[in-house]
């Protein structure tokens, strides 16, 4: 029982950090960034990535080992929608992450230079869409916990 509680706790805490990472990206990303703010964006993106992996890992552990069982979760269309939306948000995060990694690599030659994103608007749209998708997921969790979708 203690492991179940620990997995649930880690799952929820990871969700909070995922939201924090995406929100920070949304707030920090601008067309032009100072070297310091760019480091903050990269840190926020890393936070989002690491804790997204932890959300999926703890969620799957809860579904298959420590929770109600995979049949319970995967037979619920709301759970499947929730899980699918999380995957879509993760896929949307790939583009901004790749841009950040390329800029980070380029910045190593001039670490104090300002960063200017050529496709700033596209990056912002991807991050905003990720955030909006993530905002839907807690409502789906509430519906699922209420027995809807079974």
Kindly report, residue by residue over 23-54, the tens digit of the pLDDT: 999 999 999 989 899 999 999 999 999 999 99
Scan for tokens 């997921």, then name that residue: 137
CA atoms within 13 A of residue 133's CA, in its CB half-sphere = 21
Round to whole Å and give the CA distance between 13 and 39: 24
Is residue 51 in a domain? yes
Q: CA dist 56 to 64, 90, 125, Å?
A: 12, 11, 24
Is residue 73 in a domain? yes
Q: Which of 66-70, 122-126, 142-146 has the lowest mean pLDDT?
A: 66-70
- Please list, residue by residue across 39-69, b when 16 or more beta carbons sit within 10 angstroms of its beta carbon and e when fewer do: ebbbebbebbbebbebbbebbbbbbeebbee
Is residue 100 in a domain? yes
Burial of 97: CB neighbours in 10 Å, binned 0-12, 13-18, 19+? middle
- Work out the average pLDDT over 100-114: 85
Q: Is the pLDDT of residue 1 over 80?
A: no
Domains contained in the chain, number:
1
Round to whole Å and give the CA distance between 149 and 45: 33
Model-level pTM greater than 0.85? Answer: yes
Domain range for 49 is 2-145
Indicate the average pLDDT of the chain.
Answer: 92
pLDDT band with cut points at 50, 70 and 90 for residue 99: very high
Q: Is the pLDDT of residue 18 over 90?
A: yes
Is residue 150 in a domain? no
Q: Is the pLDDT of residue 113 over 90?
A: no
1: CB partners within 8 A, 6+ apart = none
pLDDT for 38 equals 93
């Amino acid at each position: 029982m203690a492991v179940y509680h620990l997995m649930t706790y880690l799952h929820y805490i990871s969700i909070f950090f995922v939201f924090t990472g995406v929100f920070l990206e949304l707030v920090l990303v601008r067309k032009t960034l100072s070297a310091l703010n760019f480091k903050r964006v990269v840190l926020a993106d890393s936070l989002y990535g690491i804790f997204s992996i932890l959300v999926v890992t703890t969620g799957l552990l809860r579904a298959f080992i420590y929770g109600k069982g995979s049949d319970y979760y995967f037979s619920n269309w709301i759970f499947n929608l929730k899980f699918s939306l999380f995957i879509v948000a993760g896929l949307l995060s790939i583009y901004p992450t790749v841009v950040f990694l390329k800029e980070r690599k380029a910045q190593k030659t001039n670490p104090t230079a300002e960063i200017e994103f050529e496709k700033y608007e596209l990056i912002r749209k991807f991050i905003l869409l990720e955030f909006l998708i993530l905002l839907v997921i807690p409502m789906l969790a509430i519906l699922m916990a209420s027995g809807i979708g079974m």
